[in-house]
Amino acid sequence: MKKFSKTKKIIAASIFGLILIPSTANFSKVEAAYSSKSDTGTEIFDYIENRRREERANALTDEQKKLQADIKEATERLPGPIEEGKPIPAAFEGDDLVYNAVTGEFIATGKVDIIQLEGYRFQSEEASGNVKTQEVRVKDKAHVLQLIDKAPRVTLDGYNTVYNYGTKTGTMGEANGKAGQYYISGKRFEFYPDYVVVYDATQTKCNAHNPDYHVSAEKMEIWPEQLMKMYKVKLWIRDKMIGKRDYIERRLDRDEENYFPRVGYNSDDGAYIEDTFEWELFPNIKAILNAHINTKKGFRSNAEIQYINRNTSVRGMYGYYRDDNSKWIQKEPGLHIFYGKHMEKFPLTYSASYEIGHWRSETAKSLHQEISFDIYPDTINLPHNFHLMTHAGYKITKDKVDNSSDDKREVRGMNYDIVLGKEFDERFAAYAGYHFTKNTTQNSLFDFGLEDYAKRFESGISYRLTDKDRFVAGVRFDVETRKLKDVDFYWYRDLHCSTAVLRWRHKRKKLEVHWQFTPW
């Protein structure tokens, strides 16, 4: 055995390639995302605020910057270039380092720092292992950092670690840290080549020492398809359990609506609470119950059977549905088919959808059909902090009123939107937009999910008064009548890991308040 004292040694073997947890971003500090549910075009402010939040969250931490610098330094000290197909070299540093070149055994003690040049750091007070069998062992606490291209950023602190970086298998005892955008913890981690299992797991996006909310699960699986599966799940707000699920599945590569009940108030429905329950029936097939209770209309909910596979979804629907204007429709039943895809070579998303079903409102009942085709170019970021959002589509709506052979309605035509936003500084932004919609409440049998008039001009401003408070004003004009139709005011209050949104619809004299957690 050869001993190196207080020195660094480059060993031509991959010493640590830990924890391939699929995700797309690391959030060093999570803040609540914003959602306005606007009728005056203020969604572009949501885009601006969420982009700023993502930029702050994706910025490299000091620890990650140091790892990049140390890898660069270690790479420059190599005697030659790394050969393709050969193990990635690793750098060892410790107060005392013993390495046997014949057997491959090593023992490192005293501020042990192991850097694999692919993008991993492993730190402990004592570590042992074998380069030839490609194994690392740590009985006490270990700190792990992963920072490689096209892979999640991972930071973990755990105990009793045994990992084989050749087979990419291993175990870690009780641990906590960050995997992608999630703060996670578990009593036991098991690592496999293509997935990770965590037992007695918790996860949250709230970075408080005592999270405002979190999810616990008897078992959590994290798969390379950007998928997180959780079994025997409990939902917590602070230390109070508020619900249970047998199974929850979520994508890791995009924000999704949170698991928790949603509460709010609006002038049409009164105070309300709503929640979503899911049951997996078969692969890619779920049963969904969307439960909604409000003080003015009572229990209004819906149930669905969903098939979702890649870019396609098929939904069988029955029950009550609400749009952003608190207009309700009863589908008894309905079928909705959707296909949408973001093109890799062109910066746009296209989609097609078809819906058919019996619709009932307070004033009409009909066999209703909708066919739509839409193109959504990606937001164009122009010089001087201008942002351009556009959309174009074609929609056909058909209605055949029940018990009437003559009353048939069909509306078809183009619809398009163009919105230009401007960021003047970190606090102040403004926008203006023009919208055209052929299908409106004036020519359709139902007023659900439709605009009141075809040609609309919208404008508004956003001002951040403090780090936690943002105020927005938006207006809407009917271009044909040249009348001001809507004036909306918003107050966004950041509550650390959630956001309260207050909306006053001045022309309609209506108040809306809703509270939302950081998106999942």
pLDDT number for residue 106: 87
The tens digit of pLDDT for each residue in 86-103 reads 767 777 788 888 888 889
What count of other Cβ atoms lies within 10 Å of the Cβ of residue 2? 11
Q: Look at phi and psi of residue 224 and say left if phi exceeds 0, alpha if psi is from -120 to 50, else beta.
A: alpha
Q: In one letter, which amino acid is 27?
A: F
Prior bond of 347 cis (ω within 30°): no
* pLDDT tier for residue 461 given thresholds of 50, 70 and 90: very high
CA angle 466, 31, 239 (to 5 degrees): 115
CA dist 248 and 234 (Å) reads: 10
pLDDT number for residue 252: 66
The tens digit of pLDDT for each residue in 181-226 reads 788 899 999 988 778 899 999 988 888 888 888 899 999 998 766 6
pLDDT number for residue 38: 64
The tens digit of pLDDT for each residue in 225-271 reads 667 889 999 988 888 888 888 888 777 666 666 667 889 999 999 99
pLDDT number for residue 1: 47
Q: Which of 71-85, 261-275, 311-325, 497-511 has the lowest mean pLDDT?
A: 71-85
Torsion angle of C-alpha atoms 37, 39, 41, 42, degrees rounded to 10: -40
pLDDT number for residue 31: 43
Residue 297 pLDDT > 60, yes or no?
A: yes
E strand spans, 344-468: 348-360, 365-377, 380-382, 386-401, 408-423, 428-437, 455-464
* C-alpha closest to that of 338 among 351, 324, 357: 351
CA dist 102 and 8 (Å) reads: 19
* C-alpha closest to that of 276 among 265, 264, 290, 287: 290
Residue 7 pLDDT > 50, yes or no?
A: no
Residue 512 pLDDT > 60, yes or no?
A: yes
Residue 333 pLDDT > 70, yes or no?
A: yes
What whole-number percentage of the chain has pLDDT above 70? Answer: 88
pLDDT number for residue 424: 95
Residue 14 pLDDT > 70, yes or no?
A: no
Q: In one letter, which amino acid is 200?
A: D
CA dist 518 and 53 (Å) reads: 11
* pLDDT tier for residue 21 given thresholds of 50, 70 and 90: very low
pLDDT number for residue 115: 84
In sequence order, what are the beta bridge partners of 164? 135, 169
For range 1-5, the mean pLDDT: 45
Contact (CB, 8 A) for 399 and 370: no
CA dist 475 and 458 (Å) reads: 6
Average model confidence (pLDDT) across the chain = 84
pLDDT number for residue 363: 86
* pLDDT tier for residue 121 given thresholds of 50, 70 and 90: confident
pLDDT number for residue 259: 67
Phi, psi of 29 (to 5 degrees): -145, 115
What whole-number percentage of the chain has pLDDT above 90? Answer: 45
The tens digit of pLDDT for each residue in 362-404 reads 888 999 999 999 999 999 999 999 999 999 999 999 998 876 6
In sequence order, what are the beta bridge partners of 410? 398
Which is more confident, 276 or 11?
A: 276
The tens digit of pLDDT for each residue in 425-457 reads 999 999 999 999 999 998 999 989 888 899 999
Q: Count how many Cα atoms sit within 13 Å of the Cα of residue 94 in the half-sphere of its side chain.
A: 24
Residue 34 pLDDT > 70, yes or no?
A: no
pLDDT number for residue 61: 86
The tens digit of pLDDT for each residue in 75-85 reads 888 887 777 76
* pLDDT tier for residue 405 given thresholds of 50, 70 and 90: low
